[in-house]
Structure 1
């Protein structure tokens, strides 16, 4: 979850590369060498907690001659897209930290003739059968598996405002000048909130809704941290954020009254994170084993607590920490757009929003 960078002091991407032979990629014998995993910085480098260290220690414990090495490329997956465009090799085996919009953008940029990630044979990822169906990317090329998810929601101060029940409530006089949001061009949370409004009002109606939000004095800031820090400074009593924010509030002894979770229309916008095997990897079998390891119940529980995200597998597969279970809130209904809905539409929606809303 990239926003952890600001709460715990990090934020970027990492990679995983290895030398060894297994089954899916052909060959045999015991795997050995280095598995290189690319991911964002706070997945491995958060000063307080991050799942990367636990994952490395426990995966290496199963393979005596294997070392997991993380890399965090500047600009994340964009770095590897640019390398592919230049015909340069991508020196990683696994990428951890993809969103659906990343995949759509990758395909729009590279086209059909250049592949950054391999098609997965799920017969070799047995734990994938436990994934929550609503978190699947809908990737037509079967390259990505989700490993956790956040839900975009509102976080509000119950002593200053009542919980809004609907999107239309946010445009009423009672909520004038109360909401902090993020730029859909530069923040994952901002783009997810935009997509949530498109899901609610349709491609023909979302800009009118945003005009109404503007008329009601919504304040749009560049990043999630810009908006959330303004909220923490009490500049406004409500912010677009995540439904796990009470977990952080509990850990930091912040007043829970200022971290109430609001689900508009009894919904939250799901923003799953995914992982994939890099096309250039020479360690496909071990990389596939790593994906399977990431979907184990005990690994999913650790990722949930350390990354402050919900597991991607069903509840019967994972035993969550009591504190996480108490303070992390799953919406009554999860909504999201998959690959098919975003393909050919995402950039146009965001660009039109930027021209109409962000530039005014």
Structure 2
């Protein structure tokens, strides 16, 4: 997902504030717990003359915050032009945690659909709630077009609509004796020449940070990932709160590498940025895949309209438009992307991800152990 607004509010200067690191997923509050206080929910939508139905869709703010480029405004206009209905976006500050908290209080969700779920969110939802927050998708005519490798919900609630790959982004211009080059492996990050060179995110409060942590667990195993992080810490890795914090620091030249998204060059190219400052490295020739999905709330007022919207999103032309505007890859196999997008959006030789069942059994233990051993010292 695009993060231009986050960069601007974080104080990035010049054209660096326009760069889109993506994805992901789903907002940087995906792993943060919602507090018990008041929360702001922004609703974006107006009544369409003659429309009898209103489809209320929750999502993360950056999905709709930039009218010229974010997918949300375009989706609203296109959907309303074809269907006799109003699409109303909800962008609560706490993302999906807003709806978890409502359910815990016994309050109706107040929405029909959520756009921006990932496997880690589903695990948290299922751990916290006894009652179903989302319902399995039924009646989708285009479900067969979704890439099976991106399906992450064994209960069939969340339907993928795009995906991103977590990678390193590095700046060749920061080399002292020539172009800076990122290491090719996880072990390479531990070498002394990369001391203080990496900016990462806290996996307890950031979607990208959590994905990077999971990739280190895949690479080093459950018994070795904490030792690996201890070595990263010895090599002066900087772990900041979220993607916006780390990418702002990277844009300001504070370090030559940042954990980000492999589509980083797409928006950099569109903005006329120096691509030498936006090089992509897949450690171990792998990228951690973090597909985003959409799901209908179990208490949806307009369940049939929610199904129509999901089918609409899976159309090839809509998938392509979302990919370009959200700087992510489509979830379906039949979307045709513009040539420049295909040129600058990099897919890893091998995609790595954890299935829902393994995350459900281990995710909280893994992140809690990381926080105890790394963040608290």
Q: TM-score, normalised on structure 1? A: 0.90
Structure 2 residue aligned with 1:130: 145
Aligned match of 2:172 in 158, 178, 191? Answer: 158
Give the CA RMSD over aligned residues: 2.1
Deviation at 1:72, TM superposition (A): 1.1
SS in 2 for 1:154: strand
Q: Structure 1 residue 337 and structure 2 residue 354: aligned?
A: yes
Cα-to-partner distance string for 1:201-259 (whole Å, 9 max, x where unaligned)? 11111001111111111111111111111111111111111001111211222211111
- Rounded to whole Å, the distance in 2 between the matches of 1:250 and 1:280 is 43
Runs of 4+ in structure 1 off by over 6 angstroms are: 8-17
* 1:94–1:55 CA distance, 2 compared to 1 (3 A): same
Aligned residues of 1:99 and 1:271 also touching (Cα < 8 A): yes
Cα-to-partner distance string for 1:280-330 (whole Å, 9 max, x where unaligned)? 11221111111111111011011011111110111xx11112221111111
Aligned residues of 2:164 and 2:261 also touching (Cα < 8 A): yes
- Rounded to whole Å, the distance in 2 between the matches of 1:342 and 1:310 is 23
Deviation at 1:128, TM superposition (A): 1.5
Deviation at 1:119, TM superposition (A): 1.4
Q: Structure 1 residue 62 and structure 2 residue 77: aligned?
A: no
Q: Structure 1 residue 225 and structure 2 residue 215: aligned?
A: no
Aligned match of 1:348 in 346, 365, 371? Answer: 365
Deviation at 1:16, TM superposition (A): 9.9
Q: Structure 1 residue 140 and structure 2 residue 124: aligned?
A: no
The answer for unaligned runs of 5 or more in structure 1 is 18-29
SS in 2 for 1:91: coil
Structure 2 residue aligned with 1:97: 116
- Rounded to whole Å, the distance in 1 between the matches of 2:255 and 2:82 is 49
- Rounded to whole Å, the distance in 1 between the matches of 2:361 and 2:3 is 27
- Rounded to whole Å, the distance in 2 between the matches of 1:240 and 1:86 is 36
Cα-to-partner distance string for 1:98-142 (whole Å, 9 max, x where unaligned)? 11100000000003xx01101122xx11212111122111x2321
Aligned residues of 2:51 and 2:86 also touching (Cα < 8 A): no
Structure 2 residue aligned with 1:83: 102
Aligned residues: 340
The answer for unaligned runs of 5 or more in structure 2 is 11-26, 30-40
Q: Quick check: 44-53 or 328-337, which moved more? A: 44-53
Aligned residues of 1:15 and 1:92 also touching (Cα < 8 A): no
- Rounded to whole Å, the distance in 2 between the matches of 1:143 and 1:228 is 32
Q: Quick check: 157-166 or 263-272, which moved more? A: 157-166
Aligned residues of 1:96 and 1:276 also touching (Cα < 8 A): yes
Deviation at 1:3, TM superposition (A): 3.4
